[in-house]
Amino acid sequence: MNPSEQQIALVTGAARGVGRHIARRLLQAGYRVVITDIDGAAAARTAQELDASGEQVLALALNVARKDDFVAALNAVLEHWGSLQVLVNNAAVTRATPVMEIDLQEFNEVVSINLGSVFAGCQVIGGYMAEQGYGRIINMASLAGQNGGTSTGAHYAASKGGILTLTKVFAKELAKGGVTVNAVAPGPVDSPMVRELVSAERLPALLNAIPAGRLGDADFIGDVVVQLARPEAYFTTGTTWDVNGGLFMR
């Protein structure tokens, strides 16, 4: 890879929430960014908001539950910009159904989307990167996958725990191809998802349980992703970066 070449990053689930913050931080760091989301119209709106010129962004509809969608997205990026160096597997669904009330269909759906999408993304885009001899993959995990979850459902927690293992599996598989694979595991972040899961009445109790005493900053999550996406991050792979206010220490 030419060090002077402007790099391209694809972010899944980037139309809103933490994904949008990640996309914005990558743009600010000088990357061209592919804004993907299952809602293609929302992805297009976000792309317009982040870069009205349209020169540094590309909006694509991408259903992460479909491997063929990853193939199509990769081909679209290659046709538009000719290369792809960074993948951020961020898209996920959250359900707060009590564990004893989750039926198998709902469990399989959540795990298929949250964990299956990371598997498909690493396979399709990670395989392409390894062929090119360079790549950076960042998988968005969660504190829930480390401590069993609190406000999130068991299926969400299980899927996020699985991401930690898949990160190690693909880190080993793709290392010889110059591709690093890392995970970021945020705790409660000031985001629409957390606000939906935690009512205003429960928020003080949550904040009291966090040693740092406050919710996380979504922009800082984006900054961590940028660090892992840099060429200089070649010696960091198979890791999980914890950003949780002290809720989980190891």
Beta-carbon contacts of residue 128 (< 8 Å; ≥ 6 apart): 74, 84, 135
Which of 31, 128, 134, 156 is labelled catalytic?
156
Coil, strand or helix: which one is 86?
strand
The verdict on whether 31 is a catalytic residue reads no
Coil, strand or helix: which one is 33?
strand
Asked whether the beta carbons of 8 and 85 are under 8 A apart, the reply is yes
| Residue 33: count of CB within 10 angstroms of its CB | 29
- Distances, alpha carbon 228 to alpha carbons 104, 127, 152, 209, 248, in Å: 35, 19, 26, 29, 21
Q: Which residues are catalytic?
A: 156
